Structure 1
Amino acid sequence: MDAAQQSAQVRDKAMRNTSVVGALVNIVLTVAKIIFGIIGQSHALIADGIHSLADVSTDVMVWFAAKYSNLPADKKHPYGHARIETAFTVALGIVLIITAVGIVLDSAQRLINPSTLLHPTPLVLWVAAFSIIANEWLYHYTMRVARKFKSSLLTANAWHHRSDAVSSIVVLIGVGGSLMGFPYLDALAALGVAFMIGKIGWDQSVSSVRELIDTGMEPKTAAALQRIIENVDGVRGVHMMRSRRMGGSYLVDVHIVVDGYLSVSEGHRIAEYVRLKLIDTHENISNALIHIDPEDDSLADLSAHLPLRREVLTDLAKVWVNDIDAFDINKATLHYLEGKVHVDLVLTCGLENTAELAERLEQNAAVLNYIGQVRVFKEKEGAA
């Protein structure tokens, strides 16, 4: 088992354990709030109990999402399964929005018909206080794990716990007001809880949908990454930078311009350096794809119409038939720059004047309108 698989297993276990703890606490809170809400005649506490029940459902979602989103990449999912977590987050947000709408409709009905308003008892205050403490603890516990494993789903769930704590504070205020002779405050508190639930659901759904449609990172972050790349030795330009979120991290691809006469290996070395630099610089970048360009092709690819190597060498063999043999032509290095094919030849050591030969070869190749500069180099004696 490699390090990536071990890391995924650890992440899976931590997320599932967190969801189990959250579910157990929220089951206790749901039962307590609904039962004591009925006994204590508090519509706000009952609504808060429904909120806790919604949190139980989200904990179950987290458990299933953790099980499947941390699976390793396969042939059908070459980028992994992280977006299963994102899809569950959208579903979680929708559940919360529906819950909020239901509470709003019920509270509005009670406000329109004062005879249906409940009259809370002091018992409700103790249940609300217990809920605040329990949910605030759950928030910090879940958020700690979310930050450690960079999980957007756990972050969303942590905020659900925090929203439940805040909603219990609203219940506390509303019930306190009702006990002081303002019966409408309990129903208004229920409305406040509903709006908080709805906002959390909306924010999480929108954020996750943006990820599913490949929304890129913030422009300021992208600009900062571009400056980092531009400062790498050997990079002459940066263009066509794109990013997309995958679970808790970003995938980045970018084109960098290097000297067109560099060797393939040196160009690859620069690209790999840039890739690792991006990953090391930004904790939320899991991987980067670096495309090497010998010139800026963001507006137009000037070499798109040029023939490939076999056709080029066949054409050159015809026009240079009286100057060099086919074996030497096959060792040519081709450079596709500025809409032309520039040719470098390394010939045997018997040559006396490489500059003169290069000039003659370039003149003879003029009939091929796609051939640019021709350079000839003398092979060192003893070279293999």
Structure 2
Amino acid sequence: MFSKFLVKTFIKDNENFKTNSKVRDKFGFLGGIVGIIVNLILFSIKFVVGIFSNSLAVTADAFNNLSDVFSSVVTIIGFKLAAKPADDDHPYGHGRIEYISALIVSVLVLLVGFSFVKSSISRIIHPVTIKFQWIPTLLILISISFKLWLSKFNGYLAKLINSSALKASSVDALSDCFTSGTVVISLILSQWISFPLDGTMGLIVAIFILYSGFQLSKETLNTLLGEKPSSELVKNIESEVLSYPNILGVHDLLIHSYGPNKCLASIHAEVPSTLSLVEVHNIIDKAENEISRKFNVHLVIHMDPINLDQKEISITKDILSDVLKSFPCVTEMTDLRLVGSGDDKNVLFNITTDDTLSKKYKSEIDLINDINKEIKLKNINFSTVITINKNK
């Protein structure tokens, strides 16, 4: 409830974040400012407690919060730069800078983790007596509640505007809850245990920090390298294109992300070859505009004229059926379509395979290549687009 209150209070036009990059920028700025305030408060509390109790684990946790302050600053800068409009050098905008800022945050987390691994090992070798006090311990417990709220707040913003940078901040804040909890355990048990628990718990804290940084780095790098689009978006675009009249099928959907809410997509739409170019253009043009607005993508649809000549389809089907007899792992052929006519045509079809596929072929591509080789042996000059389905 308080998260929604903050959004409504400081972002008046908060419902327009999908279409207005400036509004989205305000969400990132709000998340960064709140993170800075909360982490500065927590750093001050934990640093004083660490000095007062002579606990390296507490001091390590304090400087982890200080690094989160810098992370929040990086997040704000990342949002500002990502919101810059497209220019000659970057025709698709600067949206990926937000991913880079998330990567910087994860690197900062890793640096803090490595630093305190070294300090914790030194404290294990050369232990120091910890002074336990209830008040400092209670202050750390209160700081955990702050971090839990901050994690939920950043998670709420991240989900709302689909932000990897804010998601990184959310995960980082949640991991801090676990590390602070470990510190509290160290302080309480130090009353009865002479074992160098402070250094050991400090090492556990550092490992948590390193794990968090690694996970954030991995996720952000996957996004920068071009991870596959969500299955939900793929399904939605395909089904929406198929909903338009005279579009009989779709294939070769490609989606490229140039930052949050900045996707470029292309797809092949199969239409009857008997339609006029004007009719096809009107259908495709309408579909591109409406679907682009609905899913906030820039969609380009390529038209493939489908040959509906039943005689030619039947002949092609017989040829393919004969070819597929040489492949025992193929159990069924479906959805045969022809694009073009005569020898100059593309043949699109689906095949279903059984479990023996993996025993003979290293990949599905190898099977498709072998099928195409067999087709060429028939002296048939057409190209294929083969989709493989596996038996469930």
User: Is TM (by shorter chain) over 0.5?
Assistant: yes
How far is 1:161 from its partner? 1.7
User: C-alpha separation between the residues in 2 aligned to 1:22 and 1:4?
Assistant: 20
How many residue pairs end up in the alignment? 297
Contact 1:83 1:246 in 2 (8 A): yes
CA-atom RMSD in angstroms: 3.0
SS in 2 for 1:257: strand
Question: Does residue 246 of the first structure (1) align with residue 241 of the second (2)?
Answer: no
Question: Does residue 286 of the first structure (1) align with residue 287 of the second (2)?
Answer: no
Residues 220 and 117 of structure 1: is their aligned pair in 2 closer, same or farther, counting only changes over 3 Å?
farther
Instruction: Please list, as runs of the form range in 1=range in 2, the aligned pairs for 1:231-310 lying within 5 A after superposition.
Output: 232-249=244-261, 250-272=263-285, 274-275=287-288, 286-295=297-306
Contact 1:38 1:46 in 2 (8 A): yes
Counterpart in 2 of 1:204? 216
Contact 1:177 1:183 in 2 (8 A): no
Question: Does residue 133 of the first structure (1) align with residue 145 of the second (2)?
Answer: yes
1:229-283 CA distances to partner (integer Å, 9 max, x unpaired)? 445442233222222333324433222222223233432343345546755776x
Question: Does residue 188 of the first structure (1) align with residue 188 of the second (2)?
Answer: no
From 7, 10, 30, the equivalent of 2:43 is 30
Counterpart in 1 of 2:77? 64
1:40-95 CA distances to partner (integer Å, 9 max, x unpaired)? 11111111112101111110001101111112223322222110101111111111
User: C-alpha separation between the residues in 2 aligned to 1:275 and 1:168?
Assistant: 51
Instruction: Please list, as runs of the form range in 1=range in 2, the aligned pairs for 1:41-52 lying within 5 A after superposition.
Output: 41-52=54-65
User: C-alpha separation between the residues in 1 aligned to 2:341 and 2:231?
Assistant: 31
User: C-alpha separation between the residues in 2 aligned to 1:290 and 1:14?
Assistant: 33
How far is 1:145 from its partner? 2.2
Contact 2:265 2:300 in 1 (8 A): yes
Counterpart in 1 of 2:328? none
**What percentage of residue pairs aligned between the two structures are identical?**
25
With structure 1 as the length reference, what TM-score do the two structures score? 0.68
1:214-238 CA distances to partner (integer Å, 9 max, x unpaired)? 2222557645654554454422332
Counterpart in 2 of 1:18? 31
Contact 2:17 2:161 in 1 (8 A): no
SS in 1 for 2:190: helix
From 150, 161, 175, the equivalent of 1:149 is 161
Contact 1:5 1:72 in 2 (8 A): no
Contact 2:17 2:23 in 1 (8 A): no
User: C-alpha separation between the residues in 2 aligned to 1:23 and 1:132?
Assistant: 16
User: C-alpha separation between the residues in 2 aligned to 1:65 and 1:176?
Assistant: 40
Structure label with greater radius of gyration: 1
Contact 1:275 1:288 in 2 (8 A): yes
Question: Does residue 40 of the first structure (1) align with residue 53 of the second (2)?
Answer: yes
Residues 277 and 176 of structure 1: is their aligned pair in 2 closer, same or farther, counting only changes over 3 Å?
farther
From 89, 105, 121, the equivalent of 1:76 is 89
SS in 2 for 1:78: coil
Residues 180 and 73 of structure 1: is their aligned pair in 2 closer, same or farther, counting only changes over 3 Å?
same
User: C-alpha separation between the residues in 2 aligned to 1:269 and 1:201?
Assistant: 50
Contact 2:306 2:340 in 1 (8 A): no
* Partner AA of 2:200 in structure 1: L
1:342-383 CA distances to partner (integer Å, 9 max, x unpaired)? xxxxxxxxxxxxxxxxxxxxxxxxxxxxxxxxxxxxxxxxxx
Counterpart in 1 of 2:106? 93
- Between stretches 39-48 and 158-167, larger displacement belongs to 158-167
With structure 2 as the length reference, what TM-score do the two structures score? 0.67
* Partner AA of 2:138 in structure 1: W
User: C-alpha separation between the residues in 1 aligned to 2:257 and 2:207?
Assistant: 28
How far is 1:137 from its partner? 1.9
User: C-alpha separation between the residues in 1 aligned to 2:18 and 2:163?
Assistant: 17
User: C-alpha separation between the residues in 2 aligned to 1:148 and 1:220?
Assistant: 17
* Partner AA of 2:22 in structure 1: Q
How far is 1:149 from its partner? 2.0
Contact 1:255 1:293 in 2 (8 A): yes
Contact 1:117 1:184 in 2 (8 A): yes
SS in 2 for 1:116: coil
Contact 1:41 1:121 in 2 (8 A): no
Instruction: Please list, as runs of the form range in 1=range in 2, the aligned pairs for 1:306-317 lying within 5 A after superposition.
Output: none
Contact 1:215 1:244 in 2 (8 A): no
Counterpart in 2 of 1:172? 184
SS in 1 for 2:272: coil
Residues 199 and 266 of structure 1: is their aligned pair in 2 closer, same or farther, counting only changes over 3 Å?
farther
